[in-house]
Amino acid sequence: MISIHLIGLKSQSLYNSVSSNGARGESILKIKDWMSHPVITVHEKETVLEAAKLMAKHKIGSLVIVQDHAPMGIITERDVINKVIGVGKDPSKVLVEDVMSKGVTTVDTQATLLQISQIMKNNKYRRVVIVEGDAVVGIITARDILAMISS
């Protein structure tokens, strides 16, 4: 939450530029240059245990659920904790489709850092899926954006 707020505060000064003719415009920091890829995916019919094992193996906090290469949901570590472990359910018996967030917000690879940070801030998202056409090609997280800002 703090990182998203910080991005919102910094976005106007860091990611707007002035052209040689004095007109203000967005910088050329494109998300495709900073997104994590390839995206690790899981099928909706897999168990939450299998999803958690994939997250642990790849040291990531979320998996995208795809159907025909198009995103249909996302499952996060928080989903596993809050919707399964924390309520006493057995992760080997709960399916990903039962706990995933449906209706993923996506942006095109040509989106800018400012556009993505505004989407994240306005919707209180920690991650956004990046697509080319309908195909998932990357993911960007609040942590990735902080890394961009600090580099």
Write down the pLDDT at residue 50.
Answer: 98
The CATH number of residue 48's host domain is 3.10.580.10
What is the full DSSP assignment across the chain? Answer: -HHHHHHHHHHHHHSEEE-TTS-EEE---BGGGT-B-SPPEE-TTSBHHHHHHHHHHHT-SEEEEEETTEEEEEEEHHHHHHHTGGGT--TTTSBHHHHSEES--EEETT-BHHHHHHHHHHHT-SEEEEEETTEEEEEEEHHHHHHHHH-
Write down the pLDDT at residue 28.
Answer: 57
- As to burial, measured by CB atoms within 10 angstroms (0-12 exposed, 13-18 middle, 19+ buried), residue 43 is middle
Write down the pLDDT at residue 72.
Answer: 94
Query: Using CA atoms, how far apart are residues 24 and 10, in angstroms rounded to an integer?
Result: 16
Ramachandran region, residue 56 (left: φ > 0; alpha: ψ -120 to 50; beta: rest): alpha
pLDDT tens across 118-138, in order? 999 999 999 999 999 888 999
Query: Using CA atoms, how far apart are residues 98 and 42, in angstroms rounded to an integer?
Result: 13
Q: Total structural domains in the chain?
A: 1
Which of 84 and 148 is assigned the larger pLDDT?
84
- Domain carrying residue 47: 2-150
The amino acid that residue 99 corresponds to is: V
Query: Using CA atoms, how far apart are residues 124 and 119, in angstroms rounded to an integer?
Result: 8
- C-alpha 88, offset from chain centre: 27
Query: Using CA atoms, how far apart are residues 33 and 110, in angstroms rounded to an integer?
Result: 9
pLDDT tens across 21-76, in order? 334 444 557 787 788 889 999 999 999 999 999 999 999 999 999 988 889 999 99
Write down the pLDDT at residue 21.
Answer: 37
**What is the reported pTM?**
0.76
